[in-house]
Chains A and B, each alone.
Chain A
Amino acid sequence: MAYSDKVLDHFNHPRNIGVLDKNDPNVGTGVVGAPECGDVMKLQIKVDADNRIVDAKFKTFGCGSAIASSSLATEWIKGKTVDQALEIRNTDIVRELALPPVKIHCSVLAEDAIRAAIQDIKEKQTASAEAATGSLSES
């Protein structure tokens, strides 16, 4: 089974590899998959005041298609609002990278990683909002 040119391109020149400060209140981190299953994706997003994703980084342990799926995911979500990013479906990734059926789980994992990172930023925002109201009511 040969790899598609797009998978090879992302694998050989992955976009947005790296790390954002997970303690930054504007950074959301999602880690999905399990080493025993052969795939772990870590995807991080940084949002601005309008909840627009201004930066995205990833690290992936997995096959070439998993690396390509996460690379593509970071490329696509940059510049989108979190709500727009949530509209990305794994099938979009399958189509773009021409993934064969045995590699569909890689695209599912990438979608999950986006959702997990957004979930994390939303939880952070809720927590800080609660902390703010909490401190107001105390004063």
Chain B
Amino acid sequence: MKPFIYLDNNATTPLDPRVLEAMLPYFREKFGNAASRNHRKGWEAEKAVDLAREQVAAMLNAGAKEIIWTSGATESNNIAIKGVAEMYKDKGRHIITQATEHKAVIDPCQYLEQHGFRITVLTPDRKGRINLDELASAIAEDTILVSIMFANNEIGTIQPISEIGGLCKGKGVLFHTDATQAFGKVPIDVEAMGIDLLSCSGHKIYGPKGVGALCVRRKKPRVRCAPVLHGGGHERGMRSGTLNVPGIVGLGWASEIARREMADDAVRIARLRDRLWQGLSERNEEIFRNGCADNVLANTLNVSFAYVEGESLMMGFENIAVSSGSACTSASLEPSYVLRALGVGDELAHSSIRFSLGRFNTAEEIEQTIGQVSATVQRLREMSPLFELAREGLGLKQTQAFSR
């Protein structure tokens, strides 16, 4: 049995053992409710939650009081978008977002569109970056919110966040960014970047699932969000519900570890990612890198392997975990809407594989991956009628290049 290689870290990451250690006491003896103000179990839990708030805030150069705990980035995005819409609807009913956002941003926007809001969806360029002039001209009198992700989950493209933040500040419009993929991977400074609301999640940074945060700025301006869940008024009234103390402790320590190790991790992981791309390009003709090669997360590589379909590729190297933009991997019959928004044709979108590396990957695993993926591509191309057609249209020299 070949060892299992996990290259799907943008989907979720394994829990860092150090994070698990920090969490365990809060499942056992430190079981208190952080809202219990009158006994030591409550104080213990509250102290842990306060430390975690500091730890997450430190990653963002935010204040601890600006961190709202949620169940994950989907909830954070919902509170940010629907909460701001509800709170500021008398000021305006226009929201701007862009086409390659996660569904947790697109769907709340579509929901608001059905409830009397106007939504502008910007189209990114071929690399996945939005055009700042288009954003500037899309901002209208009644615009209340711009929601643009920090980095994309499928292609890793990083948006020009500081520029977007500056633009929004200049126009007096709130700026929300879904930083699920960027948090813990690149430096984030909500103050310097002009971010008013930021969503993040625990399980993308070697923390637990089921916990996330929304950073809601308290100054320049003081942002207010109507709650999505109504209840006991926890989290400054923005998110009611007893706090998930072990999860919050986990997110806090995952942030703390990321803050200390992020710079070294990024260098090491980028080297592995570049080696993966180099190795795949040397061994396979007609493969294409989707997205951006410069403004991109260190861990993400999205590649289309012409003439072979993504799901069959993944089946061919079943001990390697990756994702595909192929329709066959989803319930719908459409290939990745992110790649389509970039102008990647449907045929190449069906042929795409996302490799997302992480803290625990090794150079040996990357070499294994290059070998196994290339062997599978070759095998499937031999049985691909599209490859046969393409080869018939090519000269002898190129045909030999393929069969080496």
Q: B-contacting residues of A (Cβ < 8 Å)? A: 3, 8, 11, 14, 17, 19, 31, 35-42, 58-67, 102, 105
For A38, the chain B residues whose CB sits under 8 A away are 309, 326-328, 333, 335, 346, 350
Q: Which residue of B lies closest to A60 (CB)?
A: B383
Q: Choose from B315, B331, B345 the contact partner of A11 (Cβ within 8 Å).
A: B315
Residues from chain A with Cβ under 8 Å of B311 in the complex: 63-64
- B183: CB under 8 A from chain A? no
Quick one: given A61-B309, A62-B309, A64-B311, are A41 and B345 in contact (CB under 8 Å)?
Answer: no
Determine if B125 is an interface residue (Cβ-Cβ < 8 Å).
no
Of chain B, the residue at the smallest CB distance from A58 is B383
B200 CB to nearest A CB, Å:
30
Interface of A is mostly: mixed
Task: Find out whether the CB atom of A35 lies under 8 angstroms from the CB atom of B347.
Answer: yes
Closest to B327 in A: A38
Alpha-carbon gap, A30 to B210, bound state (A): 50
Q: Does B384 contact A (CB under 8 A)?
A: yes
* 8 A Cβ contacts from B305-364 to A: 307-309, 311-312, 315-316, 326-328, 331, 333, 335, 345-347, 350
- Residues of B at the A interface (CB closer than 8 Å) are 307-309, 311-312, 315-316, 326-328, 331, 333, 335, 345-347, 350, 382-388
B385 touches A59 (CB 8 A): yes
11 A-B contacts (beta carbon < 8 Å): A14-B383, A35-B347, A37-B346, A38-B327, A40-B385, A41-B385, A42-B388, A61-B309, A63-B312, A67-B312, A102-B331
**Which A residues are CB-close (under 8 A) to B316?**
11
Given contacts A38-B327, A38-B328, contact A59 B312 (CB under 8 A): no
Q: B253: shortest Cβ distance to chain A, in Å?
A: 34
Tell me whether A17 and B315 are in contact in the complex, defined as CB-CB below 8 angstroms, given that A38-B327, A38-B328 are known contacts.
no
Q: Once the chains bind, are A37 and B312 in contact (CB under 8 Å)?
A: no
Q: What chain A residues lie within 8 Å of B327 (beta carbons)?
A: 37-38
Partner of B328, one of A42, A60, A63: A63
Given known pairs A14-B383, A38-B326, A38-B335, the reply for A63 and B345 (CB within 8 Å) is: no
| Most chain A beta carbons < 10 A, residue from B312, B347, B382, B388 | B312
A82, B38: Cα distance in complex, Å: 84
Whole-angstrom distance between the Cβ of A20 and the nearest chain B Cβ = 12
Chain B contacts of A61 at CB under 8 A?
307-309, 384-387
Q: Is the interface of B mostly helix, strand, loop or mixed?
A: helix
The one of B307, B308, B333 in contact with A37, judged by C-beta atoms closer than 8 angstroms, is B333
Interface centre among B308, B311, B387 (most CB of A within 10 A): B311
In the assembled complex, the Cα of A61 lies from the Cα of B388 at a distance in Å of 11
Residue of A nearest to B328 (CB): A63
Which partner residue on chain B sits nearest A67 by CB separation? B312
Chain A residues with CB under 8 Å of B345's CB are 36
Which residue of A8, A36, A59, A64 contacts B346 across the interface (Cβ within 8 Å)?
Answer: A36
Nearest chain-B residue to A64 (Cβ)? B315
CA distance A3 to B335 in the complex (A): 21
Cα-based distance from A35 to B335 in the complex (angstroms): 11
* Docked-complex contact A59 and B309, CB < 8 angstroms: no
Given A17-B383, A66-B309, 18 further pairs, Cβ under 8 A: A35-B347, A35-B386, A36-B345, A36-B346, A36-B350, A37-B333, A38-B309, A38-B327, A38-B335, A59-B384, A59-B388, A60-B383, A61-B307, A63-B309, A63-B326, A64-B312, A64-B315, A66-B312
| Most chain B beta carbons < 10 A, residue from A8, A17, A40, A61 | A61
Minimum-distance CB pairs A-B, first 4: A36-B346, A42-B385, A38-B350, A63-B328
Q: Nearest Cβ distance between residue B67 and chain A, in whole angstroms?
A: 37
**Complex CA–CA separation, A38 to B352 (angstroms):** 11
* The residue from A3, A11, A60, A65 contacting B385, defined by CB atoms under 8 A apart: A60
Distance in Å: Cβ of B362 to nearest Cβ of chain A = 27
- Complex Cα distance, B60 from A57, in Å, reads 59
Task: Name A59's contact: one of B326, B350, B383 (CB within 8 Å).
Answer: B383
Q: Are B385 and A31 closer than 8 Å at their CB atoms?
A: yes
User: Which of B311, B315, B386, B388: most chain A CB closer than 10 A?
Assistant: B315
The smallest beta-carbon distance between B330 and chain A, in angstroms, is 9
Cα(A40)–Cα(B316), bound, Å: 18
Q: In the bound complex, how far is the Cα of B335 from the Cα of A11, in angstroms? A: 22
Chain B residues near A59 (CB, 8 Å)?
383-385, 388
A24 to chain B, nearest CB (A): 17
Residue of A nearest to B384 (CB): A61
Which residues on A sit within 8 Å (CB–CB) of B386? Answer: 35, 40, 61
A95 to chain B, nearest CB (A): 20
Instruction: Say how far A112's CB is from chain B's closest CB, in angstroms.
Output: 14
Q: From the candidates B315, B331, B333, B384, name the one contacting A60 in the complex (CB within 8 A).
A: B384
